[in-house]
Structure 1
Amino acid sequence: MPNNRLTQLFREKTGNLLNVYFTAGYPKLEDTVTILEELEASGADLVEIGMPFSDPLADGPTIQASNMVALDNGMSLKVLLKQLEGVREKVTLPIILMGYLNPVMQYGFERFCEDAARVGVDGLILPDLPFAEYEEEYKPILEKHGLSLIFLITPQTSDTRIRQIDNLTNSFIYMVSSASTTGSQVQTNDAQQAYFSRVRNLGLKNPLLIGFGISDKNSFELACQTAHGAIIGSAFIKALQNPAEVRENVRGFLKSIKSEPTVQA
């Protein structure tokens, strides 16, 4: 079982965890490490770096567009891993790489895991990696390099499959809020609440982070009432589009999520 910054975080902090997603190479090619540094300074608990791909199936328009900009900027797996060299001298946040299987297989799965671990990556999210193939073929490779693989569950995921995922997971489970793409708003409807309750009542051993539709302080706090934390992606990508300097955009967005309520005298 990996013992990395990710597993350590979940041992040390049990609630209100903020996971922020951004696309590597967006808005500019060289922004990756700057954004990482500012996310840590501004209070993020962990971070997902999106590995740009031309056909990101689970992602909505905002993240799709950021993928295309990043690819046009010249971002690739090779460039990203080069940018992350030495990042652990500056950043202690757990780092997850999120993307799709095709570029990873082109790079070479084990070579990719080896290089990612070498530069300080703690985990991977590969939504299109088949569950059975992971269990049979890829799990030993990830474990060899100390990497956690994070699985997604949705309202359509059966209790049996959720329990299988929980048994194979050693960090957290990514709880997709609804059957939609990224950027869709969290809806506090009866069906969604029934889904949240169903998963909560399974008594899973791994923490849950809710993603898809978490966009502001209110939706973040709402998600934290149900799960151990939440993942913000599309709303953060939009914040990076502001004309201000990238550090200022990161700082301002995280302040809007994590600010304490003002106390009236």
Structure 2
Amino acid sequence: MINSFIKSILSVLIFNLFITYPSSYTFGQVKGEPAKSFNPDTNFIFQSPRPLINSNPNSNSPRRAWGIDLIFSNSGFGVGTFYQYYIAHDLFSFASLYISGARNTDETEWVDQYTGETIIIDKINRLYMFPLTLGLQQYLFTDVISESMKLFAQGGLGPTFILSTPYDHEFFSAFSFAKFYTRFGTFIGVGADVGSGTSLLTINARYYYIPFGGNGLESIRNSPIKDFGGLFLSLSFGARF
């Protein structure tokens, strides 16, 4: 009886030994090396070899410009030339010279039926004017408007040379009797540069004030011109460099 009881206890102990030993061996953990830190950031950082935004937009821009003007005014057509130089951000200095005729607005040409010549009744002098002006040109709204359309305002002053030749002489021979005058004038204007790059196309409107002084200068008899200014429209072609 006792032997059977002892055998039963031994059987239970042996059974538990076989069950617990493999389990402890299988699930036991062995201490290894310390875990390495893991950086989940896998972003790549690229750096441009040059600034993406130029903090000084005029640093690499052309600083000079030169060109010719086609002019239209109350006196007719004319030509001119200009030169610009960069001063500061959106600010340029310039010099310009216009060459234009000057006349009264009511001058009318007639054709002589007998000679076929074109005449202007009561005309005394042929007049020519050469406004030479120095001034400043400021570009406007450059951060808002496209670079291909740049608006500007400008103003200037300088001498205006006026040439007078007698109308009753032949055109070229009349220069032998020419008279030369110098008067001071000013102007204000607005315009726009069209396009970009090195080519330059400009539309401009200027209003000149050029008083002659005294009794004025006659182009038509008894109708002297006292102010050689007025509205001048120009179309300019040039290049930046």
TM-score after normalising by structure 2: 0.19
Higher strand proportion (structure 1 or 2): 2
State the structure with bigger RCO (CA 8 A, min sep 6), 1 or 2.
1
Higher helix proportion (structure 1 or 2): 1
Q: Which has the larger radius of gyration?
A: 2
TM-score after normalising by structure 1: 0.18
